[in-house]
Structure 1
Amino acid sequence: SYSTNNRFHPVETLHSLTTETFRNSHFTPGTPVLIRKHFLSIPAISKWFNRTPDKPNFYNLNTTYLDPFASTIVPLELTRPSPPSTSSAEEPQQNESFERFDAPLALFLSFASISQPPTTRLYLAQCFLDALPSDLQSDLPTPELVLQAGRGDIYATSLWLGRPPTRTPLHRDPNPNLFVQLAGRKVVRLMEPSVGRAVYERVRGRVGHANMRGEEMMAGEEMKGLEAAVWGNGMEENGWEAELESGDGLFIPMGWWHSVRGIGDGVTGSVNWWFR
């Protein structure tokens, strides 16, 4: 779950969009847009996931299809409870440990297929598509909007798979970003460059590099501060919010700050293209 906040306004939403309109109205001026169901034809949506008919937005991984690729090495992030910290002056505080490592895809498939305590999370995060077998890469073709809106220069492409809750704290990207939801649901909160920088610096108390998914932003006091600033009710600045379901795509302009949360049940899957 996440706190509602009336300072986060809905991102402009369209149900159809030509490349020319996207280029002129959003890519060139640098304004976000949510495009509903525009990407349902991506093969990975039907090949990698099984949808539960009587549960909207509830997906499981299609392990029959993915098992042949189980030996593929992928980046994983493990978050789990650690012993609470205590002091004579404070109440015990529950902490989390965070670890990033590479492991066979089989480990993630096994974890995602069984019921896990909600306090233990294994997230396949920022897996570069060019590191995947060619058959899986072909299931995630580059959208025409990415190829034709700008120079067709793709900086990087990443895959994200997990079971909610998943999170990526507040950060910015060095290139425009098309973020597409394959399965499940995610909420993205965005801020204009100057607004996001002010929030980030207020939390950190210093200027830092905020365009990396570093371990310092995924655990500890910095993570807690960034999460509270964006997802709590105390934020004073204005921002935008988009909730994505399967087949939806969100354009995040270069330099716009954003934080992402996976919500709901089942498996959530996303892919994004950083491009120019």
Structure 2
Amino acid sequence: MFMKDDSKYQELKNLGDELEDLLRSPDHSEQDKQVKLMEYLNLLNNERAADLGVLFTERMLNRIKAAVDAHPTADVAVDQLYTCLLVQQFHSMQFDLWRAHPAIESCRNALAIIEADGKWSDCLRYCQDTANTYAEAHFWPEALYYSIHAHNSVRELLKQDVHVLENGELLDMEDSAYSILTCALNTAEGVTPEIEETLRNDLGSDRYSSVLAEVQEMKDSEPVFDPVELTPEYLAIRYELEEKIDEALEHERGYYDYCKEYWMAKRLILRSDYGIRWKSPATLNPNEEFH
């Protein structure tokens, strides 16, 4: 979301520049830095200054990633992952979650570090939210990857007799299995034998079958998407495709008919630039209303 008030935009940008100087300064305590950081992030959120939020948090992420690369420790890796979640949050405000993909990809090493260190609560939070980001963007193979990691985190926490997280969330392997199956059914491979074996071992055959039936029923009730979106050719160009669509619809952002304009642009770009024939959800689901 882009601010229309230029003076307010500049004011918020200046505050961000000042905060970055403060965060790098040795003259302030870590507690003071965290307080100032949260105040600024809340201000950006309240002002719906998503574009500034993306720029600010991406710079933070790059600095923390450099620190992790130089001295890989679990605590700093956790900071990197939570900063990545902030990047995702501000992209969500801009309705372009797909743009968070490079930031997420840059954090794979940090995720491996905290898994090796057994920081399963942090791993669960990051992987759950990141799986949701990818699912909303319809990047299903990536959503499946993080859903599996989230499920593994739940398993490890339950082994430690942790059943409730600090935020009050109850841990349930059926919930994480539901996420895995939802994502898997939206990929070309579907529910692989490996996924089925893992979930049957974790849940038992009866519970697994029950969750699978629930997921399948939900999927059957949802709109149909063109199967071409599952092909390697399409998956290879998704990010570039979204960039081209976004550029084509730069002046349409926020209009009620953006969805239809998006599909028209997508169909034309796929055909002209990639030779891929694609049908929109509106074409494949004539009885559904899309906005």
TM-score (norm 1): 0.23
Q: TM-score with structure 2 length normalisation? A: 0.22
Select the structure of larger CA radius of gyration: 2
Which has a greater percent of helix?
2
Bigger relative contact order, structure 1 or 2 (CA pairs below 8 A, ≥6 apart): 1
